[in-house]
Structure 1
Amino acid sequence: MDLLALADFNLVARHGGFGKAARATGRPKATLSRRVADLEASLGLRLFERGGRNLKLTEEGGALHERTSVLLTELDETAAMIASGAEKPRGRLKISAPLLFSQTAMGRIAAGFALKHPDVRLEITTEDRPVDMIEEGYDLVIRVNPDPDESLVGRAFLHDRLVVVASPDLPAPAVDVAVPGVVRGAGHRQVWDVMTANGPLAISIEPILALSSLIMVRDAVRAGGGAACLPISLVSHDLANGTLQHWGDIEGSDIALWALYPSRRLLSARVSAFLDFLKQAFPNGTPDELAVYIGS
């Protein structure tokens, strides 16, 4: 198989058309078209559906793009590394991270990593939705308690747990008495099963505020808006200084943050360096270590 033709095919697939690929790279459109046609002829397959104004990958073309684009990137990086005689990380590192972790810690982590690895172009997007790493071009994703996925591997680098907290002015919860609550998402009535110093307790919550961000929830609880269920790392400083009171821990609420990457991909120097940096930032992976980022 002609690697140059394969590279041009992936270039066109990534940009979504011959014209777009030509404009983005400065390559002649006719050259790209001829290379892709030669590749289709050598494989005996149609890789693109040509018609109208849009260019779409065929099923076979999509499979070829998915399986070869990452490998070609690795080949380019290996060649560049050998040519430069250097083994330090370089190139683009695209990461997806959840909202709360991004708001509380990722800015400092990104800055520290960039200072340590100036040849890496770090790009971080914040979103809680599951992303398709291959299709969307991510090198690494950070997720909370991810579902098992045979196509991904990784490691848990940070742990947390959920606690119920409230303003000191709010009376302690009692059995069968609903307390005002601040919740994330839909504001329907709910029951929180917590473990208190006196044993298990079911706290009935009547939401008076439904907010979209846990930072907003914490701030509303600080202002006396009601009780809330929050990660201990987010409120540990408030509990220590008496701004909030601890009503108990949510049973079975262990939280793990995982750094994940495609299992079929060779672990690049960039990804390996970022994983090492996370380990340095959170050597024991405890909520207290994350609280340091949040409170400083």
Structure 2
Amino acid sequence: MSDFNLTDLHGFGLIASAGGLSPAARRFGVPKATLSRALHRLETAAGAPLFDRVGRGLRLTPLGESLLPAAEKALTLLSTAEEAVRIGQSEPSGRLRIAASALSGQKLLAPVLARLAERYPAVSVTIDTP
């Protein structure tokens, strides 16, 4: 099964959790055609169906059941990666406490901290002098 990718497993997991292509498309905002192609690639690579088509929905086959844990791991990995990227792209915020002498604070840190405050207004800086 090397003719699919993590995105295909992701689509499979979405379909499985929603119980069908249309419900997954509506719930997760992914085009139905995208999910259908991902499922087709997985089923082609597996050489067997992953879902039984029942009425207007889908039910996992035994092969689909065995693949589901890997798909769930793929969903978790993608979610973790998206969160890491989101955090990495966000601006710094919070409180920054610096211990420095009064002279160092005035002469060295003040200009740097002024630029920091200008660039990252969500950062609150406090200089503690002994």
Quickly name the TM-score band, shorter chain normalised. 0.5 to 0.7
SS at match of 2:36: helix
Identity of aligned residues (%): 41
Matches within 5 A, 1:89-104: none
- Larger helix proportion, structure 1 or 2? 2
Question: Which residue identity does 1:68 align to in structure 2?
Answer: A
Partner of 2:69: 66
Superposed displacement of residue 25, structure 1: 1.9
Q: Distance in 2 between matches of 1:29 and 1:3?
A: 17
SS at match of 1:9: helix
Gaps of 5+ in 2: 90-130
Q: Please tell me whether residue 10 in structure 1 is matched to residue 13 in structure 2.
A: yes
Evaluate the alpha carbon distance shift between residue 68 and residue 26 of structure 1 in structure 2; reply closer, same or farther with a 3 A threshold: closer
Matches within 5 A, 1:177-188: none
Matches within 5 A, 1:32-47: 32-47=35-50
Runs of 4+ aligned residues of structure 1 deviating over 3 Å after TM superposition are none
Q: Please tell me whether residue 56 in structure 1 is matched to residue 59 in structure 2.
A: yes
Partner of 1:225: none
RMSD: 2.0
Q: Please tell me whether residue 80 in structure 1 is matched to residue 83 in structure 2.
A: yes
Evaluate the alpha carbon distance shift between residue 34 and residue 81 of structure 1 in structure 2; reply closer, same or farther with a 3 A threshold: same
Matches within 5 A, 1:1-296: 1-85=4-88
Q: Distance in 2 between matches of 1:34 and 1:23?
A: 16
Evaluate the alpha carbon distance shift between residue 53 and residue 79 of structure 1 in structure 2; reply closer, same or farther with a 3 A threshold: closer
Q: Distance in 2 between matches of 1:71 and 1:27?
A: 16
Gaps of 5+ in 1: 87-296
Q: Name the count of aligned residue pairs.
A: 86
> Can you list the C-alpha shifts for 1:29-70, whole angstroms capped at 9, x where unaligned?
222112201111122121000132231000110111123313
What TM-score comes out, normalization by structure 2 length? 0.57
Question: Which residue identity does 1:21 align to in structure 2?
Answer: A
Evaluate the alpha carbon distance shift between residue 28 and residue 84 of structure 1 in structure 2; reply closer, same or farther with a 3 A threshold: same
SS at match of 2:49: coil
What TM-score comes out, normalization by structure 1 length? 0.27
- Larger strand proportion, structure 1 or 2? 1
Superposed displacement of residue 83, structure 1: 4.5
Superposed displacement of residue 82, structure 1: 4.3
Partner of 1:229: none
Q: Distance in 2 between matches of 1:63 and 1:6?
A: 13
Q: Distance in 2 between matches of 1:22 and 1:82?
A: 24
Evaluate the alpha carbon distance shift between residue 74 and residue 50 of structure 1 in structure 2; reply closer, same or farther with a 3 A threshold: same
Superposed displacement of residue 77, structure 1: 1.0
